[in-house]
């Protein structure tokens, strides 16, 4: 042995030994980030990110929290374990949590013993029934702002190392760019559709305003043009209101408030709201409600918005003297809320597009007005309640929209 040759430190030996493994993990990082940048759907992207974080750091769980500038709180948006909509409503305080510290300081943090750290937000373990031992977290930094935090929990073998931190930081850097790109794509896509839809009422307004300037225009023609202008302005107002609502729903910025909701009471309240509209068309309103059903946990105002959309459409697309029937019952683990009408129905070629943004069923008589966003908004609300909407229709015989919602332990009938 050469006595003049300095002995390698344990850290150097470890680095040499682990070098092939490190190269393999960085190669995997490149593969995973390549998949991320090609994903434009935000929900899918966030799930890819946490799956990649768990794999690269060889941890038991991973989660991603995004910051809501309106509430100034962090919210879970994706996790490798089960994460339902109720978990996503759990607010993590920015000043009393490990994730909050990482977000506020814009720096990574390793907590080897979470239970003894005063910043540990214990409510998360209670909600997820998970035992957190150690946490490694890094901020999601995009240009001059912090979007949120990625956390990995409990190294499967041994403890988190410097290599885990570097890999997680590299992933977070690419993830932040991908999240911003996804948001911009969704916004630009929706804005492009909105601009296209605005052209029709704006063209009508321009033509009407131009004609109104003619001095020789008769009074009845002038009044007709005035009504056209008023109608198109109202249409623009409705369209922008619905557009902003849909944009907020699709961006994930809407926070759903969970409370105990008795669907029977909500249905009767909505029926009273639309009753004058129904009576003006001599449309009969009928109900068949299972009164034994227990309340569910839901956002009452959002469900009311959804139900009013369905009821308004049932009247709008009905025949004079027709009927609208609301049915509520339980089937298995679901509550089924059905709105059925006796109207004109939906052509088979339109059924697959009925929930598309700005889509309206072709109307030869041009007698139906609307923004084409009501059902798209309703679909989003249903999905945020872990539910879905199905439609069944036959031209000339009416349509039936069925909202499926989790029963929340309501007694079976």
pLDDT tens, residue by residue, 145-189 = 899 999 999 999 888 988 899 999 999 988 998 888 887 776 666
Instruction: Specify burial of residue 67 (Cβ count, 10 A radius: 0-12, 13-18, 19+).
Output: buried
Dihedral sign of CA atoms 353, 355, 356, 359 in order: positive
d(CA 241, CA 371): 10
42, 182 contact by CB (below 8 A)? yes
Question: Strand 284-289's sheet: what is its strand order?
Answer: 284-289, 323-331, 334-341, 398-406, 388-394
Q: Residue 197's beta-bridge partner residues?
A: none
192, 184 contact by CB (below 8 A)? no
Structure tokens at 189: 């896509």
Per-residue b/e over 80-113, b at no fewer than 16 CB within 10 Å?
A: beebebebbebbbebeebbbbbbbeeeebbbbee
Mean pLDDT score, 230-238: 78
d(CA 327, CA 314): 14
Least reliable range by pLDDT among 112-126, 262-276, 361-375: 361-375
pLDDT at 346 over 90: no
Identify the pLDDT of residue 112: 92
DSSP state of 8: P
Cα 59 to its chain centre, rounded Å, is 28
373, 358 contact by CB (below 8 A)? yes
List domains and CATH numbers for the chain: 10-182 (3.30.450.40), 256-413 (3.30.565.10)
CA count, 13 A, side-chain hemisphere, 36 = 26
Report residue 125's pLDDT band, with 50, 70 and 90 as the boundaries. low
The torsion of the CA quartet 328, 332, 334, 340, rounded to 10 degrees, works out to -40
Mean pLDDT score, 94-104: 89
Identify the pLDDT of residue 58: 92
DSSP string, 207-271: HHHHHHT-TT--HHHHHHHHHHHHHHHHHHHHHHHHHHHHHHHHHT-PPPPPEEE-HHHHHHHHH
Structure tokens at 322: 């027709």
d(CA 236, CA 224): 18
pLDDT, tens digit (0-9, with 9 covering 90-100), for 28-44: 887 777 777 667 778 88
Identify the pLDDT of residue 12: 45
191 or 288: which leads in pLDDT: 288
DSSP state of 116: G
Name the pTM for this structure: 0.53
Q: Look at residues 375, 380, 381 and name the one whose alpha carbon lies nearest to residue 401.
A: 375
Identify the pLDDT of residue 153: 92
Mean pLDDT score, 287-304: 91
Identify the pLDDT of residue 72: 80
d(CA 321, CA 243): 33
Report residue 11's pLDDT band, with 50, 70 and 90 as the boundaries. very low
pLDDT at 361 over 60: yes
Identify the pLDDT of residue 367: 55
Question: Angle at Cα 360 formed by Cα 358 and Cα 363, nearest 5°?
Answer: 150
Q: Look at residues 289, 343, 351, 347 and name the one whose alpha carbon lies nearest to residue 311.
A: 343
Mean pLDDT score, 117-138: 80
Q: Residue 370's beta-bridge partner residues?
A: none
> Which residues have a Cβ under 8 Å from the Cβ of 342 and sit 6 or more positions away?
318, 319, 322, 323, 324, 397, 398
Q: Residue 148's beta-bridge partner residues?
A: 66, 140
> Which residues have a Cβ under 8 Å from the Cβ of 35 and sit 6 or more positions away?
48
């Amino acid at each position: 042995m050469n006595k003049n040759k300095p002995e390698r430190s344990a850290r150097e030996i470890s680095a040499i030994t682990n070098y092939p493994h490190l190269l393999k993990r960085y190669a995997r990082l490149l593969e995973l980030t390549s998949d991320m940048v090609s994903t434009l759907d935000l929900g899918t992207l966030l799930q890819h990110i946490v799956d990649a974080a768990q794999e690269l750091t060889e941890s038991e769980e991973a989660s991603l929290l995004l910051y809501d500038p309106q509430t100034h709180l962090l919210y879970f948006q994706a996790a490798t374990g089960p994460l339902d909509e109720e978990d996503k409503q759990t607010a993590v305080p920015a000043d009393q949590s490990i994730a909050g510290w990482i977000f506020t300081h814009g720096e990574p943090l390793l907590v080897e013993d979470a239970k003894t750290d005063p910043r540990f937000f214990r409510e998360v373990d209670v909600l997820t029934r998970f035992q957190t031992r150690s946490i490694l977290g890094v901020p999601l930094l995009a240009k001059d702002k912090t979007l949120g935090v990625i956390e990995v929990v409990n190294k499967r073998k041994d403890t988190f190392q410097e290599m885990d931190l570097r890999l997680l930081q590299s992933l977070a850097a690419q993830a932040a760019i991908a999240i911003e790109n996804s948001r911009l794509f969704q916004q630009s896509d929706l804005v492009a559709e909105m601009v296209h839809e605005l052209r029709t009422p704006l063209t009508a307004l321009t033509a009407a305003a131009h004609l109104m300037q003619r001095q020789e225009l008769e009074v009845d023609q002038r009044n007709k043009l005035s009504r056209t202008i008023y109608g198109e302005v109202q249409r623009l107002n409705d369209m922008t209101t619905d557009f902003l609502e849909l944009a907020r729903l699709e961006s994930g910025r809407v926070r759903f408030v969970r409370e105990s909701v008795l669907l029977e009471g909500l249905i009767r309240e909505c029926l009273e709201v639309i009753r004058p509209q129904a009576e003006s068309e001599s449309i009969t309103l009928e109900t068949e409600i299972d009164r034994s059903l227990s309340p569910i946990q839901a956002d009452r105002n959002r469900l009311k918005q959804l139900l009013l959309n369905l009821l308004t459409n049932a009247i709008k697309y009905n025949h004079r003297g027709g009927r609208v029937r609301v049915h509520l019952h339980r089937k298995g683990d679901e509550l089924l809320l059905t709105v059925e009408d006796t109207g004109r129905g939906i052509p088979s070629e339109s059924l697959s597009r009925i929930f598309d943004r700005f889509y309206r069923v072709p109307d030869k008589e041009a007698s139906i007005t609307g923004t084409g966003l009501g059902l798209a908004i309703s679909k989003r609300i249903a999905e945020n309640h872990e539910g879905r909407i199905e439609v069944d229709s036959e031209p000339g015989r009416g349509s039936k929209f069925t909202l499926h919602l989790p029963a929340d332990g309501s007694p079976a009938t």
